[in-house]
Structure 1
Amino acid sequence: MSSYDSNPFAEPTSDNPFNDPSVTQVTNSNTEAVDQYNPFPAHPTDGLATHTTPAAPSPYQPAVLQPSTEPSPQATAAAAQANLLRQQEELERKASELDRREQELQARGSTGKENNWPPLPKSFPIKPCFYQDFSEDIPPEYQRVCKMMYYLWMFNCVTLFLNLLACLAAFINDSKLGVDFGLSILWLILFAPCSFLCWYRPIYKAFKTDSSFSFFFFFFVFFCQVVVFIIQSVGIPNWGNSGWITAFTNLNNKSVGAIMIIVAILFTICAVLSVILLKMVHKMYRRTGASFHKAQQEFSQGVFTSKTFQSAAAGAASSAAQGTFQGNN
């Protein structure tokens, strides 16, 4: 009978698919949207995500490259100026140090530097005539050669003294050899101080002051000294030298001949050492930058600045002026 009570003009329920009870139940349910569902709940019993947990910050920070900045021209100029000022201060400091040392040396010279050569006792009436200190005056690279020149001079003096004794022994053995004995005394008195003044002191001054004139003066005199050493080692008779010739001519007396042979050996050693040292000094001279032109300049400056030369020139000029004035009168 229910079919008779229904509206015959209404749509049949079977024709509307949305009137299906299963569909209607789903659409009318109060279930939350799917996008709010958390499939990984904080607790196993929690079905829905109530809130999201923020991720923990990473302990490692990303590397950040600092932008490279080129120095500006003003900064470069300021750095260059600061460098120049520093170099100028260093040069001024060195110049002041050199001036101070020069003033100290001049002060010592004005007050009188105490001479220490020859080393004589203070009670001796004759005082030292020269000042000599290798460590203070001579640069380290020249000290060895300069000392060897000094030792050569002392060795030459000892040889000349032994030559005098050998000629004395020969004179005692043969009275005809008195000329050799007399000349041996002369050579000792003459060559010992002259060799010190004429070639040792010039080379000492040349190494001390790098003087070209002193170098040239040394080369000229020392070359003559080498020739003298060779002549002395040869031993020409009646020349006052106990060389090889005079030693062999006096072998009739074995003691006298032995003494003369020893002196001849010493003269030969002097000649050989002098040649070696001459080459060594010449090699060092070539490294110093000295030249003949510098030697001429030093000689001219030394002559024209000399008070003796100036007084002599002034005297000559005044004499010439007086002669001219008298001639005009």
Structure 2
Amino acid sequence: MLQSQPLRQIKPKNARTKRFLENKAPQVHENPRTTLFLKYTSTSEVLNLVMTDLHALKRPLAIKFNKKNDIHPFEDPSSLEFFSEKNDASVMVFASHSKKRPHCLTMVRMFDWKVLDMLELLVDPETLRTLSQFKNDKARVGLKPLISFSGSAFDSPTENAYTLAKSMLLDMFKGPDVDKVDVEGLQYIINFSVEEEENEEVKPMIHMRCYLLRTKKAGGSLPKVEVEEMGPRIDFRVGRTKDADVDMLKEAMRKPKTTEAKTKKNIETDIIGDKIGRIHTGKQDLSQLQTRKMKGLKRSRDVPDDEDAFAGADELVNGSGDKKARIDEA
């Protein structure tokens, strides 16, 4: 009978190694995603230009290797997992070129140093325009971009290649999580758009465009915002995909209890953001209910109490002789 071996634990020998291991360990607030750029044994000049521009947009959270590697991601991803753990990179971009899949970028997303999901994006060389071909200013290194997705395919209720592309591209370019953003730091926007699918056999292309944001004075209190394309301009065709394992995806999406907000009983928030509270009250005693005081319901001064008043009312309705005699006496 085989017995499971315990996992090997590395004991730090000095403070530097201890800080390194603590930084790689699971954390309540994870570190920003680092992207690793790798090349296959055969690449094209188009892919070299695309990798250089994507690396420039992703800096400083990017590592680029120029050495060629004989790796087949969809057949054996073990080498990618090794590079991911060594470089602490959770997103990888692998460039390869072949006759069957020309100018191919394989995006790989990792979890716990294992491949979570993959997506192939084939670059269209006819429409490619690099950063250097746009003769204007560029955004500063390290700034968070605005990211927008245009097209109904990105918001499809069923998971497909375009919803996977949206998730992976957003993880790649969003940068570190912050609570506040300085308006002066919003210098550029990355837009991904896809057209409507007209033919099931031909999938629409994903268009990547990057624009500089220019603010100018306007007549009102808000400035006038203009956009200027800064590059790169890349069009992708969707290729093969590898969906995430259900159990691994569930584990990757799990949130620690320390980050979850404690739910308060009977307090909800609607879609607008207003807080709604629910109050439970006991059974009300309607006999003690204070009604509106009307002049016609007031008791007259000649009636001593409520019982006499109710008795006189009954006599008036029934037409008794006592009531008539009382009137004669008056």
Normalising by the residue count of structure 1, what TM-score does the alignment of the two structures yield? Answer: 0.25
Highest RCO, 1 vs 2 (Cα 8 Å, sep ≥ 6): 2
Greater fraction helix = 1
Normalising by the residue count of structure 2, what TM-score does the alignment of the two structures yield? Answer: 0.25
Greater fraction strand = 2
